[in-house]
A and B are shown apart, each in its own frame.
Chain A
Amino acid sequence: MTLWDLTQGTSATISAFAGSIEAGYRTRLSELGFYPGETIACVMAPSLGAPKLYRVNNTVYSLDDSIASMIEID
């Protein structure tokens, strides 16, 4: 399962990053709060494949499929 598979209103804990993710993005995502062990909630999953809104700490970010599917969840 990846973050992209989370449906609206559910949450999950990040387990790992996909091996293919670029190092820079991995660092940035970690700084934003997306790092293994952190619980992420999907607050909004718009239809038509638009980027989904994820909440981490007290901030909301929108991530598109290309990046959300590189973040693995338990």
Chain B
Amino acid sequence: MPPSSPTKIALIGSPNSGKSLLFNRLTGLNQKVANFPGITVDIGAGRSLVDSSTEYLDFPGVYSLKAISGEEKLAVDSFDKALDTGHLDAVICVVDATRLEKGLIFALQVLEACRRHNMPLLIAANMSDVLELHKIPLDTHGLAAALKVPVLSISGKTGIGLEQIPSAIASATAPTEAYAPTGDIITSDDALVHRQAQQLAKQYGPKGDLLINAQTRLDRFFLHSWVGGISFFVIMYLLFQSIFTWAAPIMDGVESLLQVIADLVLARVPAGMASDFIADAMFGGIGAFLVFVPQIFVLTLVVGMLEDSGYLARAAVICHKPLRVFGLTGKSFIPMLSSVACAIPGVYAARTVDSPCKRWLTYLAIPLMPCSARLPVYTLLIAAFIPAQKALGGLIGWQGLAMFGIYVFGIICALLVTAMVSRSSAELRSDLPFVLEMPPYRLPSWRPLLRNAWNRSKHFVTKAGKVIFIVTVVVWLLGYFPNQGASLGDSWLGTLGKWIEPVFAPFGLDWKYGVAILTSFLAREVFVGTLGTLFGIEDADENFVSLSQQIQDSGLPLSSGAALLVFFAIALQCVSTLAVMAKETGSWRLPTQLFVSYSIFAYLAALLTYQLVELLV
């Protein structure tokens, strides 16, 4: 078969049926795997690992082919269109075998759609590893005979049954008759489909409540009024702590490694412009930013782990009532928590907020959540201004406390904004009902999680790294010429910087910070790179002093440092977030509004902070 026309096989299933994991397993592609209902939305495509003439298409997870919300309608339409245009050769309907009845309600709808389009169908009873573990039988033959389509028992996790998929697909034919067990007239009545699914599940499906009972015991723990509350805070604390304690040794490692490389390289390059460039722009600018990659890796990993374990759905239940006070819903919790790693997955995750008003409000909160791109800036400024001393007899470090404080500040800002905006109109105050599936608790599958964290970090290095590289090179060129780094103040950049100095002068910041802030509107972490490059040029003797030390030595007052922290906590300095938000909302209106208003908000808040600290200190 020519490579241009592969056999196209659609994967369709309800959220949490394990479709993404199966897709990854079949194609080796790195799609995000998430244990939260509805997270897959774009159609992924990938060639089969065993047979490159087969292409699998991963359709968005939907609960039903009768859509009720806008997003869902898009997803259902995409499937309908694929069936209509004859682009598909077969359909695999993935159902969670441990919850067969629910899966069958959907499978019966798919069966009907395939019958109408004369499309071969295979039903994949997924998660059969769980059934095997608990020795619960599933009668796939009986089910296949009753439905008159092949049914395979598989597991996307352990790989059971996957090798049978190609042959099962090859022999699958389009369902010819609608399923009607009692021989009564075919109706599309919901209740009838229900009865049928129920009968089928009872007859052929797994018996017993074993799985649910274990789940209920855990729910009674995690949602208990005070045990649940305490565990919520402990889990959030551990999440926060892990970013620092687990990532710190790796960060130190990266830093030492960079230093060793810098020494090696610089020893081989004769002094002059080339060596200046390597020292200032390469190691000063880009190196300063690479150090933070481990943190992003760990954060993505831990958030992914929580998501995969099923706990996040419970956290959404716990947070529903409190978040309602701020105009949000429990479903806003997952996008907001993801935004602690990065606002971009947060914006995508906001799709799971089904009420359009609440989703809009969630978008307002997302850019204010303390994302990991702010971390380099926070870490740098805190290291420069807060003494590395312990308080309360060594229990808490001041630096850790300051970091915690600025994180909480971001979250409070987010909640205050949504609380205020949601009260501004009756439409935004209105509530849609909260209905959320509670996925079973699962041990996270490590491989996809690690791969996802790895990809995110790689993406960060390549995407953000490219921007940072270009910016640092431009900054370096402008700062180094026309006088070969002899005097930064008289360079082109210096001239430009003095021009914008008045804007940031009210916080006591000189033009170097002004330039760094300006470049950081591309992406926050560029701030560190730019500042590193600027201090590198200025610093005539090329011994490596950490950037935070250089900031300290430059005599920047505490009030200016605090103003900078507050400015970075609020300002929406991320081109990627704006672009993704524009894509998700279908227009540049909201991103533009947010960009302008958060910039003004950030500026005023920084001004206020500066004045306050000046007064107090």
Q: Which of B404-412, B427-435, B481-489, B550-558 contacts A (4 or more CB under 8 A)?
A: B427-435
Contact between B209 and A58 (Cβ–Cβ < 8 Å)?
yes
Quick check: is B261 within 8 A (CB to CB) of the other chain?
no
Main secondary structure, interface of B, reads: helix
**A30→B69 CA distance, assembly (Å):** 15
Chain B 72-115 residues near chain A, CB threshold 8 A:
98-102, 105
**Which B residues from 188 to 202 make CB contacts under 8 A with A?**
190-191, 194, 198, 201
Q: Which of B68, B100, B105, B435 touches A61 (beta carbons < 8 Å)?
A: B435
Listed residue (A29, A64, A67) with the most chain B CB atoms within 10 angstroms of its CB? A64
Q: Report the bound CA distance from A47 to B105 in whole Å.
A: 33
Give min CB distance, A22 to chain B, whole Å.
9
Interface assignment of A27: CB less than 8 Å from any CB of chain B: yes
Residues of chain A within 8 A (CB-CB) of B224 are: 46
List the B side residues contacting A62 at CB < 8 Å.
Answer: 313, 317, 434-436, 438
Distance A33 CA – B312 CA, assembled complex (angstroms): 23
Contact with B along A45-74 (1 / 0, CB 8 A): 011111101010111111110110010000
- A57 near B102: Cβ-Cβ < 8 Å: yes
Separation of A47 and B433 alpha carbons in the complex (Å): 19
A61 to B66, CA, bound (A): 19
Chain B neighbourhood of A25, CB < 8 A: 68, 433, 435
Q: Quick one: which of A27, A35, A49, A61 contacts B438, CB cutoff 8 A?
A: A61
Partner of A31, one of B105, B220, B317, B320: B105
A24 at the interface (CB under 8 A from B): yes
Give chain A nearest CB distance to B120 CB in angstroms: 25
* Nearest neighbor of B191 in chain A, beta-carbon distance: A35
Is A50 within 8 A of B194, CB to CB?
A: no
Which residues of chain A are near B309, meaning CB under 8 Å?
A: none
Per a CB cutoff under 8 Å, which of B211, B216, B228, B435 touches A29?
B435
B223 within 8 A of A: yes
User: Which chain A residues border B66 with CB–CB below 8 Å?
Assistant: 27, 31
Alpha-carbon gap, A63 to B433, bound state (A): 8
B223 touches A67 (CB 8 A): no
B residues in contact with A58, CB < 8 Å: 98-102, 209, 211-212
Q: Are A32 and B63 in contact (CB under 8 A)?
A: yes
Q: Report the minimum CB–CB distance from B578 to chain A (whole Å).
A: 32
Which residue in A32, A53, A63, A64 is a CB contact (below 8 Å) of B223?
A53
Whether A63 and B102, one on each chain, are in contact in the complex, defined by CB atoms closer than 8 angstroms, is no
B-chain residues with CB within 8 Å of residue A31 when the two chains form the complex: 63-64, 66, 105, 190
| 8 Å CB contact of B431 from A37, A43, A51, A66 | A66
With the chains together, A44 CA to B66 CA distance in Å? 30
List A residues 6-21 near B (Cβ within 8 Å): none
Q: Does B390 have its Cβ within 8 Å of any Cβ on chain A? A: no
- Count, A-B residue pairs, CB within 8 A: 115
Cβ contacts under 8 Å, B216 to chain A: 43-44, 55, 60
Known: A32-B63, A60-B215. A48 touches B321 (CB 8 A): yes
Residue contact A63 to B68, C-beta cutoff 8 Å: no
Q: Is the interface of A mostly helix, strand, loop or mixed?
A: mixed
Interface code B290-323, partner A: CB below 8 Å = 1, 0 otherwise? 0000000000000000000000010001101100
Residue B225 interfacial (CB < 8 Å): yes
Which among B68, B219, B330, B437 is the interface contact of A43 at CB below 8 angstroms?
B219
The answer to whether residues A67 and B434 also contact, given A31-B64, A44-B219, A57-B102 and a CB cut-off of 8 A, is yes
Please state if B219 and A60 are interface contacts (CB–CB under 8 Å). yes
Among candidates A27, A35, A50, residue contacting B317 with C-beta atoms closer than 8 Å: A50
What residue in chain B is nearest A47 (Cβ atoms)?
B225
B311 → A minimal CB distance (Å): 14
Closest to A67 in B: B433
Contacts of B318 in A (CB 8 A): 46, 50
User: Which residues from A are CB-within-8-Å of B320?
Assistant: 50-51, 64
**Are A46 and B434 neighbours in the complex by a CB distance under 8 Å?**
no
Is A60 touching B435 in the complex (CB atoms < 8 A)? no
- A57→B99 contact, CB < 8 A: yes
Are A28 and B64 in touch, CB under 8 angstroms? yes
Once the chains bind, are B434 and A57 in contact (CB under 8 Å)? no
| Pair A33/B321 contact, Cβ less than 8 Å | no
Given the contacts A33-B102, A59-B102, A46 and B223 also touching, CB distance less than 8 Å: yes
Task: Tell me the complex Cα distance, A7–B69, Å.
Answer: 31
> How many Å from the CB of B198 to the closest CB on chain A?
8
Q: Which residues of B contact A46 (CB under 8 A)?
A: 223-225, 228, 317-318
Q: Which of B102-160 contact A (CB under 8 A)?
A: 102, 105
Chain B residues with CB below 8 A from A38, complex form:
194
What are 12 A-B pairs with beta-carbon distances under 8 A? Answer: A28-B68, A33-B101, A33-B105, A33-B194, A47-B225, A53-B223, A59-B102, A59-B438, A62-B438, A63-B433, A64-B434, A66-B431
Residue positions of A touching B, CB distance < 8 A: 24-25, 27-33, 35, 37-38, 43-44, 46-51, 53, 55, 57-64, 66-67, 70
Beyond the given pairs A35-B194, A58-B212, 20 more chain A to chain B contacts, judged by CB atoms under 8 angstroms and listed by A's residue number, are A28-B64, A28-B68, A30-B194, A31-B105, A32-B63, A32-B102, A35-B190, A44-B219, A46-B223, A49-B321, A50-B223, A50-B320, A58-B98, A59-B437, A60-B212, A60-B216, A60-B437, A63-B434, A64-B330, A66-B433
Residues of B participating in the A interface, judged by any CB pair closer than 8 Å: 63-64, 66, 68-69, 98-102, 105, 190-191, 194, 198, 201, 209, 211-212, 215-216, 219-220, 223-225, 228, 313, 317-318, 320-321, 330, 431, 433-438
CB-CB nearest 9 A-B residue pairs: A67-B433, A24-B68, A64-B434, A47-B225, A60-B438, A57-B101, A58-B99, A46-B223, A31-B64
